[in-house]
Amino acid sequence: MGQMHVRAAQGSELESLRRRYLERGDLPEGGLSASVLRSWERCQRLGLEIGERGRPANTTRADLMLARERNATLLNHAGGVMEHLYEQIRASGSMVLLADASGLILHGIGDPSFVDRASRVALQPGASWSECQRGTNAIGATLIERAPVEIFGAEHYLECNGVLTCSAAPIFDSKGVLLGALDISGDHRKPQPHTLGLARMGVRLVERRMFESEHARHALFAFHNRPEGVGGLQEGLLAVDADGEIVAADRQARMLLGIEDRRIGRLGAFGNLFRSGFGTVISRAGRDPAALMELELRDGARMFARVRVSPAWSANAHAASSGRARVAQGQDPSRSARQRITLETLATGDAGLQFTLDRCAKVIGRKIPVLIQGESGSGKELLARACHNSGPRADGPFVAVNCAAIPEHLIESELFGYVGGAFTGARKEGAIGRIQQADGGTLFLDEIGDMPLAMQARLLRVLQERCVQPVGGSEPVAVDIALLCATHRNLGDLVRAGQFREDLYYRVNGLTAMLPPLRERTDLHQIVRRLIDGSSNHPEPRAITVDPSAMRLLEAYAWPGNIRQLQNVLEVALALLDAHEERILPEHLPEEVQGASPVTRVAAAAPASASAMSPATLPLRGRRPKDIDDAMIREALERFEGNLSAAARHLGVARNTLYRRMGCDY
């Protein structure tokens, strides 16, 4: 997957090759990699001048914080890896950088003297290194090429960046979505031979950590076609749920198994891929977790695997006893644990929620698009999955796209896909878009209110004509999708503000399903029980109870982050329990929950009304941004431990307003 980068040209020779190319259009023969030439072409088309210092966007500190928050998972997993990489290159006077999918640098660590020099060309957190802003550079190019790239000295399109030598590799999630890039940059006079290899290794580690953490509740199959490959960076990872359904395959696994991108969303049962019975494999792993097993693929090829099964997975498998019986008999269960989340199982006794579930049940399968509205963390995606699993498309793919998380310049190819050679830097074989991946199933567009206007027009055409036209393709491809959308914003307001197309609004809003915020729900006890039972932070979560004194605090708290926040609080509480403890006590809860006053939430019997909340925890709705002073912002940030979304909600202002205020004032 790497770009071979054997170079003959260096130093002044390289400089003159570049000038000849730019002034006379002479294509150098040899000495330069295809990726560099493609990038130069792109820069020329963009009209960049080699003498300019780039076209930096006006990125504020607030933008950087917003991007960091959006990429919190990536940052969490990449931080340790970056430090490890830096240890390897410490002597070379370089730095390690992490950028998001738009090229914005989120984090960097490095040799102080080089960090200082790099900052003179703005190679630092908060600066965007997309190609259209900085010309040819490793971060920008690797994001476009979707492959590792090295850019030496004068290969940088802009002369000012010729002082750098950079190696970068792209980072993807397990669904093939581009998340960002890891880059190692140093002085152009001291190129190191193995830097690109190190960057690729770092990316592999980050992707693995993210995969393992995302699938902590699943059985993990680490495998390779050679026994010695298992346990190394080249092994592939498969996550399998308690019913034997493969829920995810990492990049290496897809390569080893020859799985195409279009199948990422529907990998099917373990038994579809392997001849070996899933039940047999799991019980062997249970007996001897260190055992290296030989597994036969359906096409006769052999793989060697080690299986890791978490306590949460075992509990899940135990609970799904009928499914387990099927698995033990080597049958392919048709419905996975994921698929068992249905409208029925979501019902936990809250009247408001039940009203919404009943309305959803009536329209599912009737080609009526559902728009799910609710605060962040209130369970919008889970409701979307439940709708999918409760309808006639349950066996088809469920493809979720977070419109706010995809950078604007990538959203088109991500949604619609592209044909081979559609644009410079496109993959030879093209790529299937997310809409097409949902064919036969459900497309879930999360945060639809954040979709750029140009994309809204294209999406509208897809919904009207039920066809997608991949970028660069001439033939429309028919798609059969059910559409579910979600937003925490008021789409009606966005329509009035001219930010959301009215015609699309009517297309996506067949039925509005309102999800109540947790503070207004009357089923807190049931949700707490469910979250504890499903936890992977305790070997026997079902044995754990919540002391009434702790439950009273949970009831009293206003839960600005809704079920997601409650889930985090309970996970931490479970992790804090000592081996002999089976009861969650107030001391296991965070301070802010311990401090919740009983009057801030009405008893679970009736939905809380605003008048029943104490002024201290009441969200300060209806305030104009200018009415909010710095002290209030500081207090809200402290109160919500730096959680900006929660603080903004509490202050009654839009999150962006808060970022802007912080960008100016802090």
Interface residues toward ligand ATP, by CB under 6 A: 346, 374, 376-382, 446, 488, 527, 530-531, 563-564, 567
Q: Considering the complex, what minimum distance in angstroms separates the CB of residue 430 from ligand ATP?
A: 30
Tokens of 356: 């919404």
Going from the C-alpha of 645 to that of each of 402, 628, 656, the distances in angstroms are: 17, 16, 9
430: left (phi over 0), alpha (psi -120 to 50) or beta: left
What b/e readout covers 521-547, taking b as 16+ CB neighbours within 10 angstroms?
Answer: bbbbeebbbbbbeebbbbeebeebebe
Q: How many CB atoms lie within 10 A of CB 642?
A: 11
Read off the DSSP letter of residue 274: B
Q: Which is nearer to ligand ATP, 206 or 383 (CB)?
A: 383
Q: Considering the complex, what minimum distance in angstroms separates the CB of residue 646 from ligand ATP?
A: 11
Q: Considering the complex, what minimum distance in angstroms separates the CB of residue 509 from ligand ATP?
A: 17
Is residue 168 within 8 Å of 148, Cβ to Cβ? yes
Q: Considering the complex, what minimum distance in angstroms separates the CB of residue 397 from ligand ATP?
A: 18
Q: Considering the complex, what minimum distance in angstroms separates the CB of residue 614 from ligand ATP?
A: 26
Distance of CA 113 to the CA centre of its chain: 34
Q: Considering the complex, what minimum distance in angstroms separates the CB of residue 547 from ligand ATP?
A: 21
Q: Which is nearer to ligand ATP, 446 or 555 (CB)?
A: 446
Is residue 538 within 8 Å of 577, Cβ to Cβ? yes
Place of tokens 């979600």: 486
Is residue 637 within 8 Å of 40, Cβ to Cβ? no
What is the biggest distance separating any 2 CA atoms in the chain, rounded to whole angstroms? 79
Q: Which is nearer to ligand ATP, 155 or 350 (CB)?
A: 350
Q: Considering the complex, what minimum distance in angstroms separates the CB of residue 21 from ligand ATP?
A: 46
Give the N- to C-terminal CA distance of the chain in Å, as an integer.
Answer: 44
Q: Considering the complex, what minimum distance in angstroms separates the CB of residue 488 from ligand ATP?
A: 5
Coil, helix or strand at residue 612? helix
Q: Considering the complex, what minimum distance in angstroms separates the CB of residue 377 from ligand ATP?
A: 5
Q: Considering the complex, what minimum distance in angstroms separates the CB of residue 563 from ligand ATP?
A: 4
Question: Please, where are the H alpha helices in 320-424?
Answer: 321-328, 343-346, 351-363, 380-389, 408-416
Rounded distance, CA 380 to CA 559, Å? 16
Q: Which is nearer to ligand ATP, 44 or 526 (CB)?
A: 526
Q: Considering the complex, what minimum distance in angstroms separates the CB of residue 78 from ligand ATP?
A: 21
Task: Give Cβ neighbours of residue 46 (< 8 Å, ≥ 6 apart).
Answer: 131, 132
Task: Give Cβ neighbours of residue 341 (< 8 Å, ≥ 6 apart).
Answer: 382, 385, 386, 389
What phi, psi does 446 have (nearest 5°)? -85, 150
Q: Which is nearer to ligand ATP, 181 or 346 (CB)?
A: 346
Rounded distance, CA 465 to CA 443, Å? 16
Q: Considering the complex, what minimum distance in angstroms separates the CB of residue 601 from ligand ATP?
A: 18
Tokens of 102: 């738009």
Name 663's bridge partners. none
Is residue 270 within 8 Å of 249, Cβ to Cβ? no
Q: Which is nearer to ligand ATP, 17 or 527 (CB)?
A: 527
Positive or negative torsion for Cα 315, 317, 320, 322 = negative
Q: Considering the complex, what minimum distance in angstroms separates the CB of residue 384 from ligand ATP?
A: 8
Q: Which is nearer to ligand ATP, 171 or 357 (CB)?
A: 357
Rounded distance, CA 278 to CA 414, Å? 34
Q: Which is nearer to ligand ATP, 314 or 376 (CB)?
A: 376
Place of tokens 């305030």: 623
Q: How many CB atoms lie within 10 A of CB 427?
A: 14
Residue nearest to ligand ATP (CB): 379
Q: Considering the complex, what minimum distance in angstroms separates the CB of residue 87 from ligand ATP?
A: 34
Name 484's bridge partners. 370, 444
Q: Considering the complex, what minimum distance in angstroms separates the CB of residue 13 from ligand ATP?
A: 52
Q: Which is nearer to ligand ATP, 169 or 346 (CB)?
A: 346
Q: Which is nearer to ligand ATP, 271 or 377 (CB)?
A: 377
Q: Which is nearer to ligand ATP, 458 or 488 (CB)?
A: 488
Rounded distance, CA 144 to CA 139, Å? 9
Q: Which is nearer to ligand ATP, 225 or 376 (CB)?
A: 376
Is residue 22 within 8 Å of 131, Cβ to Cβ? no
Q: Which is nearer to ligand ATP, 93 or 534 (CB)?
A: 534
Is residue 81 within 8 Å of 208, Cβ to Cβ? no
Q: Which is nearer to ligand ATP, 72 or 599 (CB)?
A: 72
Q: Which is nearer to ligand ATP, 27 or 72 (CB)?
A: 72
Rounded distance, CA 303 to CA 591, Å? 49
3-state secondary structure 473-524: CCCCEECCCEEEEEECCCHHHHHHCCCCCHHHHHHHCCEEEECCCHHHCCCH
